[in-house]
Amino acid sequence: MSTNKLRNQIQELLDLADIKLNGSRPWDIKVNDEKLYHRVLSHGSLGLGESYMDGWWDCEAIDQMLDRIFKADLDKKVKNNWKLLLEVVGAQIFNMQNKKRARVVGEKHYDIGNDLYEAMLDTRMAYSCGYWKDANNLDDAQEAKLDLICQKLGLKYGDRVLDIGCGWGNFTNFAAKKYGVSCVGITISKEQAALAKKKAEGLPVEIRLQDYRELNEKFDHIISVGMIEHVGYKNYRTYMEVAHRNLKDDGLFLLHTIGGNKSVKTTDPWIAKYIFPNSMLPSVTQLAKSFEGLFVMEDWHNFSTDYDKTLMSWMKNFDAAWPHLKEKYGDRFYRMWKFYLLSCAASFRARNNQLWQIVLSKNGVQGGYQSIR
């Protein structure tokens, strides 16, 4: 098919989202290489992301452009190719998040460099959605999120708390300092564990390089923030059984997770290849099924639009720090990371993705659980 016909096909799709090729508005696409049209039509979101990394197109406001694409459901109008179909089939046959593969995301994403995350994140290095209800900046939003979790659990002095997927220890350190609890945090990232241990010096906090399936001890409360997105649907039940096994009978389990509007078994192919290998977003149905018969659902809180603000703050910090990071990471990484942050912001803005905090008890809170917002 000729380049003109391919361009016309792409423009017809983009018209549905009010986006122009080589237009003058911030969300319009500037085409640098016309091979873009065939690549996007044949490879969908993977082709769109990779062609941006390769410099084939630019856009002044990628988040606005993708927000329009998501709201117009353009991804449903571009047919999947055979490679993507094979990935979907493979995910159904194989357990992509088994213990052998579980550390892949730690090595490929979280171990790429603490300097990047220190520059991009807030001062506590919370790599999850902040709570912007009464906050005006990223630091305050992340502190509000951490305090919200502590309040929802009803933490009291002397409690022992488990953090599954503790990152750089932002929650464990905050809870230990403000609420006088002792914490155990586990991660599968060597870089995270090393820095988290350093940050926790002098606090009643133990950081372990450990898979969640190896846990077998009792805690007053358990939290897991931004971890189950890496667990995989084949392991949701096991994950919940681990939480149930390690939680005291009168304790609470708070799950903080990105969620999808429908049940899936894979993730976006570009995200899977370049950002979060073997990841996927759980749905309400998948989560409910996973804890059925194990937990009572006490509270389900959605504040997904706060993730848009969080991601845009991370992008601002990343841009500001780039002159100091450029030599180490290179221009192609910059375009990849920018596309990652802004595409995720657009997805939350379009309400394609959700952000849930779910509070679970083993036997139901006597007298009822008081929801905290």
Rounded to 10 deg, the angle between the 82-93 and 36-53 helix axes is: 60
pLDDT at 108: 52
Residues spanned by the domain of 128 = 97-361
Residues in the chain: 373
The CATH number that applies at residue 113 is 3.40.50.150
44 plus 122 within the same structural domain: no
Domain boundary among 17, 44, 79: 79
Three state DSSP letters for 195-251: HHHHHCCCCCEEEEECCHHHCCCCEEEEEEECCHHHCCHHHHHHHHHHHHHHEEEEE
pLDDT at 83 (0 to 100): 42
- Spell 221-242 as b/e; 16+ CB within 10 A means b: bbbbbbbbbbbbbbbbbebbeb
DSSP one-letter string for 79-91: ---HHHHHHHHHH
CB distance 185 to 194 below 8 Å: no
The residue to which tokens 């357990």 are assigned:
95
59, 129, 166, 344: the active-site residue: 344
Residue 183 a catalytic site member: no
pLDDT number for residue 267: 85
- 274 and 316 fall within a common domain: yes
- Low-confidence residues of the chain: pLDDT under 50: 80-92, 101-102, 105-106
Overall pTM > 0.75 = yes
Q: What is the pLDDT of residue 298?
A: 98
What pLDDT sits at residue 60? Answer: 97
107 and 198 housed in the same domain: yes
Residues 161 and 294 in one domain: yes
**Based on the domain organization, do 102 and 155 belong to the same domain?**
yes
What pLDDT is stored for residue 107 in this prediction? 54
| Residue 359 and residue 223 in contact, taking contact as beta carbons nearer than 8 Å | no
Q: Which amino acid is at 104?
A: V
